[in-house]
Chain A
Amino acid sequence: MNEILQYTVQGLAAGSFYALAALGLAIIFGVLGVVNFAHGACYMLGAFAAAVLMDLVGLNFWLALIVVPVLMFFFGVLLERLLVSRLTALDPLYNFLLTFGLSLLLVDLVKREYGVSGQPYTRPEILGGQLTLGALRLPTYQVFVLVFSLLVCLGVWLLMTRTRIGMIVRASTEKSELTRALGIDVNRWVTPVFGFGIALAGLAGVLAAPFRAITADMGSSFIIILFAVVVIGGLGSIVGAVVAGFLVGLVEAFGQAYAPTLSQIVIFVLMAVVILIRPAGLFGREENA
């Protein structure tokens, strides 16, 4: 029982990374219709930015949680203005290809500059050690990651449901033709939304920095799992992305605990089953299947 609880928390903590990044992916897809293949590379850039800024200017973890997403936001804005916007009028596959090329470029640029070995990173002392709850003992940092990303997801949800901007974004995500037909100018929000999605990927990267190896390739397998996450959740669904993110984290943790060699296959089997039963994903709408 104790172990099951332990695996649950660990799974949810691992799922936090997927949920945050998938949320960004879903928002970008919703408003732009673009599946950002470079999302894994952006996650990697977030972790690298945290490590490099710590090395250069001594930026600590807490500040990095704010500074890096802001930087990534502007990076996203730049990307959208310079590249992505040129292709949004065309078949979305073009932007899928564009961002695929972009991920090759970004990963190898980072490799060229910083090599392939991991970057060092020190987390704040206060997040070290373990929290003990009865017989349950968990690394403080994992608990922090879980709580923090739940708060961020909640914040994004409030932003989406309680503000005008959010309404527009949500409406265009879930019923884009209708939104446009109502004469709401979605286009004004395209660039900041793209930036925001990239910032979320960057934030996931910062959270990963103390806990995972910071290498140029850290996003390469991450993005593939992320695709499975959004397919399971339903591409157009913001809630779906978050729920599926945590779900995949759990599946991974329990898979690792009870069928370690199959744990990676299980995620994709889950995805295949979802496609079979609900082609639009768990939270997607059937009519767009």
Chain B
Amino acid sequence: MSTKRLAATAVVSASVLVLSACGSGGPGGGGGDFSDGKVVLAVLNDQSGVYKDLSGPNSVKAVEMAVADFQEKYGEEAVVDEIEVVAADHQNKPDIANTKAQELYDREGADIILDVPTSSAALAVATQAKEKKKLFIDIGAGTTELTNGQCNKYTFHWAYDTYQLAQTTGTAVTEGGGKEWQIIYPDYAFGQDMDKSFTRAVEEAGGTVGDHIATPFPNDNFTTFLTKAASAEPDVIGTMQAGGDLINLVKQYNEGGYAADGIELAVGLMFITDIHSLGVEAFEGVQFAEAWYWNHDDENRAWADRFLEETGTRPSFAHAANYSAALQYLEAVQAEGTDDADTIVGNFEGKEINDVFLKNGTIRAEDHRVIHDVYLAKVKSPDQVTEDWDYEEIVSTIPAEEAFMPLDQSACSMGG
């Protein structure tokens, strides 16, 4: 039953005395208050399924990098000497996520759970976090519910959500001239959510959405839907499909030759790993929202180089976000001198942060949405690619305040 102990990154015994002194005199004056005398960070994500490449084992690596950086930065000044990173696989199933979250909090003594892609799994973990009064920072899931109807005191949403995806792509593509849209979306909660968000964003930017075409999920044949959408001769077909379904749709869009008719394809949710697996040819010219891109600036690139050394691959936004969340959590622990969840929540709320992932970041106190600058990316053409993973061109930056749901629209009440 024991969760895999990936790395017990403990700083060694010689410093114990010094450290305990440090702890009590620590900046936050928390009195060296640590459950089990250590801090345990748990990464709960998909280690084997569809999101394995996007987050998976390399998210654990990213969190380990954060721990190493923290220990290097503070050395003997650190308020806690033993920091442990554990990981578990939720296989994208909410029931497994639910059980694993309980197990991590109760048995592994996890002080915080990180990552958790798949909305249904993330919502299950959020419920556990609320019940156990322990921290949860979600990175991999997209549902706005985490910071709306189902928000709670212990849950934070760090990287992206469906509202932000629509706001980024919908607004930017419309303003770029794609006025008339057709939206194809998978007919389940995520897809419906995306359809609504995109429609609002497109209309606010002065565009119109013709048909909203619901498709089954999963589905491998989109030709009928594409024919239907294209028959209205729109400027843009917006697709909210993800993963394998997205690949199906893109292949069939290419076969249909719609690009030559001047019908652009805008993708609601897409990751750099999708481009990597299918090749830039298939996605060339497609526009999508990116929460972070490894080759955007020198700071990102330097971190991505380190990540490459550790893992042999370039980081996705989720890897960078996991690093950022773990690091900021440890910084908060350092500042407060405790791993007590309520104290850390107090430290987090309203905090402004700039790190490798969060640019102009703020942890909103009201709904625990972490807002930060995000980007509209465009897939390069094959001859523009100069190295492995160099697939994206950042078209524009959307400032933090504009990218995420305004507070007055949020249905979150932290009362519970």
Contact = CB atoms under 8 A, between A and B. Distances in A.
Report if A and B touch in the complex (beta carbons < 8 A).
Answer: yes
Interface of A: 3, 6-7, 10-11, 13-14, 111, 115-120, 122, 128-130, 139-142, 208, 210-213, 215, 217-218, 221-222, 252-253, 256-257, 260-261, 263-264
A77 to B, nearest CB: 28
B52 A116 contact: yes
Contacts of B277: 115, 117-120
Contact of A218 (B52, B220, B278, B279): B220
A61 B358 CA distance: 45
A261 B187 CA distance: 7
A14 B223 CA distance: 9
A211 to B, nearest CB: 6
A34 B228 CA distance: 40
Contact of B223 (A13, A213, A263): A13
A140 B257 CA distance: 10
Contacts, number: 104
Interface stretch (B99-107, B119-127, B210-218): B210-218
A213 B242 CA distance: 11
Interface residues of B, number: 37
4 nearest interchain CB pairs?
A117-B277, A213-B247, A139-B255, A213-B244
A6 to B, nearest CB: 6
Interface in B230-269: 231, 244-248, 251-252, 255-257
A11 B277 CA distance: 29
A120 B252 CA distance: 14
B35 interface: no
A211 B247 CA distance: 9
A222 B223 contact: no
B53 to A, nearest CB: 5
Given A213-B248, A260-B213, A117 B276 contact: yes
B130 to A, nearest CB: 31
A212 B222 CA distance: 10
A43 B281 CA distance: 25
A130 B256 contact: yes
B273 interface: yes
A211 B225 contact: no
Contacts of A260: 187, 213-216, 225
Contacts of A212: 220-221, 247-248, 251
Contacts of A215: 244, 247
Contacts of B221: 10, 14, 212, 252-253, 256
A260 B187 CA distance: 9
A118 B278 contact: yes
A130 B227 contact: no
B216 A213 contact: no
A218 B220 CA distance: 8
A139 B256 CA distance: 5
Residue with the highest number of chain B CB atoms closer than 10 Å, among A128, A213, A218: A213
Nearest to A122: B281
A210 B254 CA distance: 11
Given A139-B257, A261-B214, 19 more contacts: A3-B231, A7-B224, A10-B227, A13-B223, A14-B221, A111-B48, A115-B53, A115-B277, A116-B49, A116-B52, A117-B50, A118-B277, A128-B255, A129-B257, A208-B220, A211-B252, A213-B246, A256-B215, A257-B228
Contacts of A7: 224, 227
Contact of B227 (A6, A14, A128): A6
B276 to A, nearest CB: 7
Contacts of B246: 213
11 contacts: A117-B276, A117-B278, A119-B278, A129-B257, A139-B223, A211-B251, A213-B244, A217-B244, A218-B220, A253-B223, A260-B214
A129 to B, nearest CB: 6
A120 B283 CA distance: 11
Contact of B273 (A117, A122, A221, A256): A117
A210 B247 CA distance: 11
B225 A256 contact: yes
Given A120-B278, A139-B223, A115 B216 contact: no
Nearest to A263: B216
B274 interface: yes
Given A10-B224, A111-B48, A129-B257, A118 B231 contact: no
A208 B223 CA distance: 13
Contacts of B273: 117
A145 to B, nearest CB: 10
Given A14-B221, A211-B252, A120 B227 contact: no
A249 to B, nearest CB: 8
B282 interface: yes
Contacts of B279: 120
Contacts of A139: 223, 252, 255-257
B224 A213 contact: no
Nearest to B230: A137
B50 A116 contact: yes
Contact of A264 (B216, B231, B248): B216
B225 A213 contact: no
B155 to A, nearest CB: 27
A237 B206 CA distance: 57
A203 B279 CA distance: 24
B48 to A, nearest CB: 7
A99 B376 CA distance: 46
B270 to A, nearest CB: 12
A5 B402 CA distance: 46
A3 B226 CA distance: 12
A121 to B, nearest CB: 9
Contact of B255 (A115, A122, A211, A222): A211
A19 to B, nearest CB: 14
A218 B216 contact: no
Residue with the highest number of chain B CB atoms closer than 10 Å, among A6, A117, A139, A210: A117
